[in-house]
Chains A and B, each alone.
Chain A
Amino acid sequence: MSDDAVAAEARPSPLHDEHVALGATLVPFAGWSMPLRYGSDLAEHTAVRSTAGLFDLSHMAEIWLLGPEAGAFLDHALVGSFRGMAVGRARYTMICVESGAVLDDLIVYRTADEAYLVVANAANHDPVLAALRERVGDRDVTVEDRTDTTALIAVQGPRALEILEATPGLAVEGLADLRYYAALEGTFDVDGQARPVLVARTGYTGEDGFELFVDADTVGVPLWRALLAAGEPFGLVPAGLAARDSLRLEAGMPLYGHELDLTVTPYAAGLGRVVKLDKTDADGAPLDFVGRAALYARAHSEPARVLVGLVGESRRAARQGYDVTTRGGTHVGHVTSGAPSPTLGVPIAMAYVTPEASAEGTELAVDVRGRLEPVHVVPLPFYRRP
């Protein structure tokens, strides 16, 4: 099937017409038609590092868990601990299968005593929703998929807070003091009516920033326009998926389908900290969760491969799927993501390699289209905001 045919079948974002008006290059992405870039992806990347970028993330899946047992249910269904999480907090976590492999990585927000929001990758909307529905059993929990009615807009970059504060009609009490990985309810005025906005200080760029969840039909477009207009004096530009990918790579953040998939556990990805093997139920008894037995075994054995950062010593960048070798050409792993880093000016990559090849400073090579290019292992992330 041609790309055009895929694009024709792809679902438009609630902000589709805005992207078209801004001259975006739209591409099919996980069943949606989303902006790849508006002009220069490098300029968009740089804007997020130096001022701010505006992202449409409406393709992400928003699944709500509602009811008195919602927290206890998530403790069973996911690898993290949620029953005791404070209202207004967010947590990075994963949903695993019984083998311990990663079905998706998620952010879970608790917005009320009996309300949790699970944000999943667009590509995993169906399997995550199906797994949650299957795992809920007879618990007193409603699983509500609001992906279609939610617009998700992110403002990311060092000027993000100033931009939200300067946006007319956006009222979020306590915004300046909102902690990283926390969320607040606010309002946005549309034609004189105060509409709800869930504002979270989360992101996928390595910068300070916010993600705003709003009703797709009534709030998405007016909020997008208001942010764009208010942000312009601060240097805000709309930014697409290309910049999002290069930003998250510099920040060492995994992307499902690259660093994470059904062949890896959280431990191999260096994210074992999200697995709470010792969580307990309301009575303090050990709590079994999906994947626990396999993850317990993995936690107490060395993984066959580990995720590392690689910095290239030549100009040619490693890309997903390329072989990682010793300098002498012996195979030790494979690249999961790679690109020339716009901020650092050198090629960077994440790769799974054998534990023996994973120590910081290890000199390795990547087979870049038939030629071995020298790289060395560095700690992640590649970039940390000043």
Chain B
Amino acid sequence: MSQIPAELQYTAEHEWVAAGEPATVGITAHAADALGDVVYLELPEVGAAVTAGEVCGEIESTKSVSELFAPVDGTVVEVNTAAVDDPSVVNADPYGAGWLLKVAVSGEPGGLLSAAQYTDLVGD
């Protein structure tokens, strides 16, 4: 059973969002487990505009590759360069050191799932 922290919000594409200014974005433990060892991250540049529901990056493991969907509208203000340099932190600590982006959110985030809703979605 993967960990699903109660204080975070989620997308159906397995991203998590920690509310704040800026908001922090990563992928869930469920997604990291399904991918296997992450070996390469392609993240947007600082300053890039992202749109909720649209692809903004890629997460690649030996076995497969998954797109990163922006969970909110906004502007990227920081990317986790330590995770780009050593993507294994995404598996080791997906909700901590394995965060991916910080986004200055424009407008009100919508359509995100609660921890309970995400738990129902992934069925564990």
Contacts and interface: CB of A to CB of B under 8 A. Distances in A.
Interface string B93-124: 00000000000000000000000000000010
B42 interface: yes
A316 B62 contact: no
Interface in B55-80: 58, 60-65, 67
Contact of B62 (A4, A42, A369): A42
A23 to B, nearest CB: 11
Given A315-B42, A316-B42, A40 B37 contact: yes
Contacts of B63: 36, 41, 242, 245-246, 339
Contacts of B37: 40-43
A342 B40 contact: no
A245 B64 CA distance: 12
Contacts of A339: 62-63
B28 to A, nearest CB: 16
Contacts of A45: 62
B40 A40 contact: no
A340 interface: yes
Contacts of A342: 39, 62
Contacts of B33: 25
A42 B36 CA distance: 8
Contacts of B60: 315-317, 340
A42 B92 CA distance: 13
A317 B36 contact: no
Interface residues of A, number: 20
Interface in B12-68: 33, 36-37, 39-40, 42, 58, 60-65, 67
A342 B39 CA distance: 9
A37 B36 CA distance: 8
Contacts of B65: 317, 319, 369
A241 to B, nearest CB: 9
Nearest to A339: B62
A36 to B, nearest CB: 8
Contacts of B67: 369
Contacts of A4: 123
A340 B42 CA distance: 14
A37 B37 CA distance: 10
Nearest to B92: A40
B91 interface: yes
Interface in A321-367: 339-340, 342
B40 A42 contact: no
Contact of A316 (B36, B58, B61): B58
Nearest to A241: B63
A245 B63 CA distance: 8
Contact of A41 (B42, B62, B123): B62
A42 B34 CA distance: 14
Contacts of A316: 40, 42, 58, 60
A189 B38 CA distance: 42
A25 B2 CA distance: 12
B21 to A, nearest CB: 32
A36 B36 CA distance: 9
A311 to B, nearest CB: 15
Contacts of B91: 40
Contacts of B64: 319
A316 B42 CA distance: 9
Contacts of A246: 62-63
Nearest to B35: A41
Contacts of B62: 41-42, 45, 242, 246, 339-340, 342
26 contacts: A4-B123, A36-B36, A40-B91, A41-B37, A41-B61, A41-B62, A42-B39, A42-B62, A43-B37, A45-B62, A242-B36, A245-B63, A246-B62, A315-B42, A316-B40, A316-B58, A317-B60, A319-B64, A339-B63, A340-B40, A340-B60, A340-B62, A342-B39, A342-B62, A369-B58, A369-B67
Interface of A: 4, 25, 36-37, 40-43, 45, 242, 245-246, 315-317, 319, 339-340, 342, 369
Given A37-B36, A319-B65, 12 more contacts: A41-B37, A41-B62, A41-B63, A42-B36, A246-B63, A316-B58, A316-B60, A319-B64, A340-B39, A342-B39, A342-B62, A369-B65
